[in-house]
Structure 1
């Protein structure tokens, strides 16, 4: 019989820390890839050419964590039907943390024994392991290290169901993840629904990312893949053998790589990861979730370092992924008011190991037949229809609260903005981040605020910027002018942004508005002016490590390395000793002709907790400082 219970998970845990108070107006994280258009289907090229948001606002960056871990707990929701046990963590993006085959006491996922954020997500903080739900735009979701609303209700066949949902602010979409274990079933069911609530068409992205042990073979119903290898290209290649190596085995890949299997025309897409005995995990879905991908870290020093960085002291992992499009470079056009649903399943699979590890075509055919017999496509379609029929069923018992942004959106747009019956956004979820904006929606002004304190939150996204700017138009305070500047900045209207930032500074100077002027100057190529403005901004907020780094970067860009060193040396101890600031100090020392100082910092040990995926600053600086010495493994994060 299927049951549900609320538990907690004890493990070494890092603190997520405070968000970066500086709005990310510069745009989403850059990718090192370019598309090899001549080798890719026209639809992939078309979908990769549109839909990338200008910035990640209104989200703020989550970069306040460190690599210090202490005993901690995570609240979990556990589904158990006597065959499988699925453990979810609503407070961390609804992550499916663990899926255990109880008959053999076998973990089907890669379950990370620690919780350690690292800089791989759109908002920076991300963690490895389990199954992650990614929505909005290319990359790990803005909600991956944020809580989702979660509640219990009765699912298909009377099984207990866990529902998790949130309002995604970039796209103006409400998404929900409904999970249940039917009595006696050997596969977890996950129904996903995305509803476009904004009045205009949008672009959509979704990938479900599953971490699995890397000593496996990964199979999918395809004979070619669109491959990236972190060398700046993506191209179509046959699978599984490339350059004489069977790439379907993660541990046979030297470098980090993505393999997007070409599953076009497959009626029921799937992907499996099988160990040497033919045991493993199968992920299947209804037809809408067409994409399938294998990601590997590779066996190089840099790849091994990344795997250990994300799961310290433990075995490495690979990822098998499933998405709405053929590749993760694509955004699909989604009409206003559209609702997209699909059903995914996650469960154990056992096949003949000789077949599983033999000829690719024979192995794919064997697995396909076994999956079709176990869960026929027609049954999946019928179960999807059942799930859709229950998608608006009211939750019975709330077990976790997400953000208050969905409730604020209702206040902005009115009760008809979205059917909240199955995904309620109650006013009890409105908190300090939303309260200032409630007054604006009521026709008032932003409350008077101290310009020395950064704003707690920002608005915009999903095309709402003109509405918010209009609602703030009559407010003459410094804070309203600053927010109007940010709203214009995120839309690419530099002239209006500069005017509003200047008006904010005239009303009451703040580091935040001066910073905005500095970023605009940098974007216009006025490097010296940008450096002066950003240094001026930092002097009003010397506690702000991120602003210290921006000012230092601007000084280096203006070829003022000695001044950059003096700027960094004058910072408070807590700022000066942060890994990012020490990294910047090494760069400045080399640029200022002080290689001995750079060598001293590198030799003493330099750890940058939020080193970005694909970033090669540490090994590059080591080679610049010590051209005759090999890069130490602890500084080698090279992915190619």
Structure 2
């Protein structure tokens, strides 16, 4: 059977995913604290090169997606299917090009974890993320900013069969990425060719990891060549070199890990790098790649209650068990790689079903990995892989014949801003929005109608700021210059541009920046309230204000603010949580308990402990109300043991201390 690529509609229970927020989120507003880059323990120069620490980077100009719920309803999704007689792959171009399903047609089994629902949760750099399938993570650290966004997709016909191309323009690195998916006729191997193009005259630091969600069950083992591993088990959760798989216990079985864990495999002398996940019978999925991808890793939420809850939370109870096997352009995920000026970087990956015999679970780890290596070599011989890689490198620079979906306007705008195409073979043309950003990109005067309100979208790069400065001053332009300056922590310059913007036209966004620039809580509160009372203030601004009052321990102000909000705003999830904090501060434990179980919470951050912390405060209040004095640590520990954090509130990444 020859390979076909076709459009289909997939029926899938779906929760609501609203529009991205138009409120810029700055680096200090990220959920991961901005801390100093930690030391590492025993890592080589290669394993430390271009290292970074999570929480230090801005996500601007990207917009956070935090307006979603957990109310599943019947839904449909436009997908593209690649199929031959042996494999079926289902791709969602409106969700970052995620490969949702990869089915081995000879067995009828799913090679990747196929999530039965589409239900976002707060795990990505831009908040909303969902589990399952294969995701293409670049060019900034973390889950791709296109996780819940459309990307460009189309088909190129070739003498060897059709290729499905996924691509977009990254606005932080200001480079393009693409994935070309190729399933040869009658083959059980799906090839993925990646290409990153830096069109700039300057070098850039970029990031890429391919994350493969695979089914997890008792007895699942991860196999990848390893002389040793790098893990987050050292003081301060820092990376360090470890023996693998251990002398006293076998770390290659994810179920042996209680807490969430990441294991990076290191085998610099291996003739071919690969990673595979196989079940207790030796069946599963294997991935290998060309030498450009030295990184291999597995991630598991852990066998503890919090991690198990997370997997159900991302899916349906009892249906969410999965782990991730990953492949990256660097040895660890705490690193970037350098793209020279005008450099193009290519790599090829292969995904295939794997059936091993009893040696898959040999107690000698290297015996098991050697067995897997031989099976992968038989499925994809080195000369075959080299031939497909060369073919795909040539095809990657040639245009598509048919385009199935379009991504954002920003690639098209960048080409007009610079006057040059971004990458050969990639078509970023879209129907113009005719808005403020299009006027700027085209170098034309800003239409008066485009200065009536705050435009949709954000820009902070020097290219855009220089174009703004080249034109006549406007309140929108000065607001964007202030935003970009604050993102660079140039506070005095941000003050200057903000003052000009507010003088030309007061706006909620301007007063909000004024609050962020204020030096003391009183001035911040005053500016925030001006922003909230200004025309057009969005609901997410109320959430930010409530979080400010809470973080500043202004309990009375927090209570007054949330009590005065309109009903539709008071029902927002983060406002409900702010009301729960007020109830805890006031000692109103009946109200606190009611609010904790008022609804299923959708936006709790990975590793965030607010829900379980509030439960512990509730239990302390109940105990002390009963004994009519301050409870001792022993009494609180005993009560928490008798009244553990309810499953719905336990989304920690590590097990709870009972003190």
Which of 173, 176, 187 is 2:175 aligned to? 173
Shift of 1:373: 2.9
Aligned pair 1:144/2:157, yes or no? no
CA gap of 1:133–1:319, structure 2 versus 1, over 3 A, is same
Counterpart CA distance in 1 for 2:273 and 2:469 is 46
Aligned counterpart, 2:615: 622
Counterpart CA distance in 2 for 1:120 and 1:35 is 22
1:269-280 → structure 2 map (5 Å cutoff): 269-280=273-284
The answer on whether the counterparts of 2:193 and 2:348 sit within 8 Å (CA) in structure 1 is yes
Counterpart CA distance in 2 for 1:465 and 1:444 is 14
Counterpart CA distance in 2 for 1:354 and 1:185 is 25
Counterpart CA distance in 2 for 1:307 and 1:68 is 17
> For residues 250-298 of structure 1, what are the alpha-carbon distances to aligned partners after superposition, in whole Å with 9 as ceiling and x for unaligned?
2222111111112334342110001111111001100101111100011
Aligned counterpart, 2:188: 186
Counterpart CA distance in 2 for 1:567 and 1:328 is 41
> For residues 607-639 of structure 1, what are the alpha-carbon distances to aligned partners after superposition, in whole Å with 9 as ceiling and x for unaligned?
331111111111112112212442111111111
Aligned counterpart, 2:23: 22
Aligned counterpart, 1:634: 648
Aligned counterpart, 1:572: 566
Which of 69, 93, 98 is 2:96 aligned to? 93
Shift of 1:57: 1.2
Aligned counterpart, 1:611: 604
CA gap of 1:619–1:224, structure 2 versus 1, over 3 A, is same
Which of 589, 592, 596 is 1:596 aligned to? 589
What SS does the corresponding residue of 2:540 show, helix, strand or coil? helix
What SS does the corresponding residue of 2:13 show, helix, strand or coil? strand
The answer on whether the counterparts of 2:531 and 2:537 sit within 8 Å (CA) in structure 1 is no
TM-score (norm 1): 0.93
1:169-318 → structure 2 map (5 Å cutoff): 169-215=171-217, 216-228=220-232, 232-241=237-246, 244-313=248-317, 314-318=319-323
Counterpart CA distance in 2 for 1:308 and 1:299 is 13
Shift of 1:551: 1.4
The answer on whether the counterparts of 2:33 and 2:55 sit within 8 Å (CA) in structure 1 is no
Aligned counterpart, 2:371: 366
Shift of 1:356: 3.4
CA gap of 1:448–1:490, structure 2 versus 1, over 3 A, is farther
CA gap of 1:478–1:542, structure 2 versus 1, over 3 A, is closer
Counterpart CA distance in 1 for 2:34 and 2:515 is 26
Counterpart CA distance in 2 for 1:2 and 1:263 is 35
What SS does the corresponding residue of 2:7 show, helix, strand or coil? strand
Counterpart CA distance in 1 for 2:393 and 2:596 is 59
The answer on whether the counterparts of 1:294 and 1:320 sit within 8 Å (CA) in structure 2 is yes
What SS does the corresponding residue of 2:391 show, helix, strand or coil? helix
The answer on whether the counterparts of 2:432 and 2:438 sit within 8 Å (CA) in structure 1 is no
Counterpart CA distance in 1 for 2:269 and 2:522 is 55
Counterpart CA distance in 1 for 2:469 and 2:11 is 48
Shift of 1:460: 2.9
Counterpart CA distance in 2 for 1:51 and 1:63 is 20
Counterpart CA distance in 1 for 2:110 and 2:161 is 22
Counterpart CA distance in 1 for 2:316 and 2:524 is 40
Counterpart CA distance in 2 for 1:272 and 1:333 is 28
Counterpart CA distance in 1 for 2:145 and 2:221 is 31
Aligned counterpart, 2:628: none
Which of 162, 166, 176 is 1:160 aligned to? 162
Counterpart CA distance in 2 for 1:479 and 1:449 is 12
What SS does the corresponding residue of 1:260 show, helix, strand or coil? strand
Aligned counterpart, 1:122: 125
The answer on whether the counterparts of 2:257 and 2:303 sit within 8 Å (CA) in structure 1 is yes
Counterpart CA distance in 2 for 1:187 and 1:481 is 53
Aligned pair 1:106/2:109, yes or no? yes
Aligned counterpart, 1:478: 475
The answer on whether the counterparts of 1:407 and 1:429 sit within 8 Å (CA) in structure 2 is no
CA gap of 1:32–1:557, structure 2 versus 1, over 3 A, is closer
Farther off after superposition, 485-494 or 31-40: 31-40
Aligned pair 1:532/2:487, yes or no? no
> For residues 8-56 of structure 1, what are the alpha-carbon distances to aligned partners after superposition, in whole Å with 9 as ceiling and x for unaligned?
1101012211211201123554269974423322333332148987421
Counterpart CA distance in 2 for 1:114 and 1:32 is 33
Counterpart CA distance in 2 for 1:623 and 1:47 is 41
Shift of 1:90: 0.9
Shift of 1:481: 1.4
Aligned counterpart, 2:415: 410
The alignment of Structure 1 onto Structure 2 pairs a total of residues equal to 626
C-alpha RMSD over aligned residues: 2.3
CA gap of 1:52–1:43, structure 2 versus 1, over 3 A, is farther
The answer on whether the counterparts of 1:452 and 1:510 sit within 8 Å (CA) in structure 2 is no
What SS does the corresponding residue of 2:74 show, helix, strand or coil? strand
Farther off after superposition, 210-219 or 605-614: 605-614
CA gap of 1:611–1:418, structure 2 versus 1, over 3 A, is same
What SS does the corresponding residue of 2:94 show, helix, strand or coil? helix
CA gap of 1:604–1:51, structure 2 versus 1, over 3 A, is closer
Aligned pair 1:430/2:444, yes or no? no
The answer on whether the counterparts of 2:4 and 2:83 sit within 8 Å (CA) in structure 1 is yes
Aligned pair 1:70/2:102, yes or no? no
Counterpart CA distance in 2 for 1:370 and 1:32 is 44
Aligned counterpart, 2:347: 342
Aligned counterpart, 2:627: none
The answer on whether the counterparts of 2:233 and 2:240 sit within 8 Å (CA) in structure 1 is no
Shift of 1:508: 1.6
> For residues 404-440 of structure 1, what are the alpha-carbon distances to aligned partners after superposition, in whole Å with 9 as ceiling and x for unaligned?
211111110013x4344x11111x34336xx322212
Counterpart CA distance in 2 for 1:327 and 1:547 is 36
Farther off after superposition, 191-200 or 545-554: 545-554
The answer on whether the counterparts of 2:22 and 2:63 sit within 8 Å (CA) in structure 1 is yes
What SS does the corresponding residue of 2:49 show, helix, strand or coil? helix
Counterpart CA distance in 1 for 2:515 and 2:354 is 56
CA gap of 1:26–1:536, structure 2 versus 1, over 3 A, is farther
What SS does the corresponding residue of 1:70 show, helix, strand or coil? coil
Counterpart CA distance in 2 for 1:189 and 1:566 is 58
What SS does the corresponding residue of 1:13 show, helix, strand or coil? coil
Shift of 1:72: 1.0
TM-score (norm 2): 0.90
Aligned counterpart, 2:632: none
CA gap of 1:354–1:558, structure 2 versus 1, over 3 A, is closer
Farther off after superposition, 226-235 or 309-318: 226-235
Counterpart CA distance in 2 for 1:212 and 1:281 is 8
1:15-54 → structure 2 map (5 Å cutoff): 15-27=16-28, 28-30=30-32, 35-49=38-52, 54=57
Aligned counterpart, 1:455: 455
